[in-house]
Structure 1
């Protein structure tokens, strides 16, 4: 069996939904209503799916040991995340499928996190819950009971950068920063979400929803490649960021689909960047 490592169609998932080696994770979330994802899961989810909480399981402590603010959704400790995966029944040879109802904006976070832990067989359900239901497939309310998994942490497939490295890049300009937030937030015009608005100086804007077709599925590889090419000449020199390191993973997934791997995630992203007033902020267009 070949692994799914980027996207999986609803049809292909349906063919494996009862496979004991497959683990399906519901990643629904709402930044304005933190209970919405779990409430939605209780109302109805894909058969056999467990729930992955963005706030408590797929993110870590907001403040580091030194007291410094690390952003709204900093990376969890690797072993803590590994134990969460084991509690869901994930083994080293499991195929993991993440889904949401938001075009993959939250499911992509789990996709990236598993690759960060060295697990390659993880994919996002293309089109999410809507694609599943369009096939006439059911939703259920029962909570699955799975045997404890044996997942182990291995070498990461994906790089990260620190806030210090992003700061240094302002001087040397060796890398390009791509911001996945909506254009109004990038320009500094949405104080509801970003009390301190704007973007990292020199950054370019690629709204994560631009990776999607009108039906919520990802654009094809050739289209994504042509759209990213003017922004990213060399993926290994690119840094992806957003508000808090979540939707930046959507751009990283799109780059992977496009055959342009190697870009790094800045996990703290804008929320960490603006926690220190000494860090410069730009507004307006790129």
Structure 2
């Protein structure tokens, strides 16, 4: 499964992994980046034209990873400067399009936390391109709106809205509990809360490992972070509503309002 790794781990393994910086090119070039990191800006792999929500096409994704020097056997570490939420989306995209989850890693923290204690560079590494081939997985955590609606009424499942309080109050899928994705982030370290604290936060809203968890937000970016965190914490059944509220509302499905569903 995709895991979360420390800055020390990345520093020790950077010769053996492909580090991917998903910030804008001006940040990568102008503010510096982790040594050895290649730049794959978020907007280059984010699309609204694919059949599955915002996922890029298989051809586009193969071209992106090929240019980044990634092969099917490459271990990839991704980071951003927003507590990992954009980087998590890169990694979830890789998983959904068939890259081995065991080879996908999210930096615990982000560029800002890294540069406080470790070196950065403005040098762009020379990377030999590859011929990456997308191999869709046999099984997927992706679910559609009918499965989401059913999960809201299933006592063995918990439907989770990972947006902010105000967004949830304005309109959410009936039966969903609220968990702002940032509630699992430590503001000081800019990374994941300590394990027991994170589990306590999750349990406080009914998210426990024994239940099937179904995640949604607006466009599947924020749930990417929560998905990676839950899998890292050992949750085995985590489903991913790629269409999220964008699709739900487009199909004119019902919404609940207020903070108490």
The question of a shared fold, defined as TM-score above 0.5 by the shorter chain, is answered with yes
| Among 19, 25, 33, the residue aligned to 2:20 | 25
| Among 81, 105, 117, the residue aligned to 2:61 | 81
CA-CA distance at 1:149 after TM superposition:
4.5
SS of aligned partner of 1:55: helix
- Count how many residue pairs are aligned between Structure 1 and Structure 2: 255
SS of aligned partner of 1:239: strand
- Aligned partner of 1:241 in structure 2 is 216
- Aligned partner of 1:285 in structure 2 is 259
Q: Is the 8 A contact 2:152 2:176 kept in 1?
A: no
- Aligned partner of 1:257 in structure 2 is 232
- Aligned partner of 1:52 in structure 2 is 40
| Among 272, 275, 279, the residue aligned to 2:247 | 272
Query: 1:197-208 counterparts in 2 under 5 A?
Result: 198-208=171-181
- Aligned partner of 1:130 in structure 2 is 112
Query: 1:181-200 counterparts in 2 under 5 A?
Result: 181-188=163-170, 198-200=171-173
- For residues 208 and 67 of structure 2, what CA distance do their matches in structure 1 show? 40
- Residue by residue, what CA displacement relative to the aligned partner does 1:157-213 show, whole Å, maximum 9, x if unpaired? 75110123224545667642101111111111xxxxxxxxx1111111111111111
**Root-mean-square deviation over aligned CA pairs:** 2.5
Residues 202, 5 of structure 1: alpha-carbon distance in 2 compared, 3 angstrom cutoff:
closer
Q: Is the 8 A contact 2:2 2:231 kept in 1?
A: no
- For residues 26 and 85 of structure 1, what CA distance do their matches in structure 2 show? 13
- Aligned partner of 1:147 in structure 2 is 129
Q: Is the 8 A contact 1:82 1:153 kept in 2?
A: no
Compute the TM-score of the two structures, normalised by the length of structure 2: 0.86
Say yes or no: does 1:14 pair with 2:11.
yes
SS of aligned partner of 1:106: helix
- For residues 67 and 111 of structure 2, what CA distance do their matches in structure 1 show? 23
Query: 1:215-230 counterparts in 2 under 5 A?
Result: 215=188, 216-229=190-203, 230=205
CA-CA distance at 1:154 after TM superposition:
5.0
- For residues 250 and 134 of structure 2, what CA distance do their matches in structure 1 show? 34
- For residues 162 and 49 of structure 1, what CA distance do their matches in structure 2 show? 35
Bigger fraction of residues in helix: 2
Residues 233, 58 of structure 1: alpha-carbon distance in 2 compared, 3 angstrom cutoff:
same
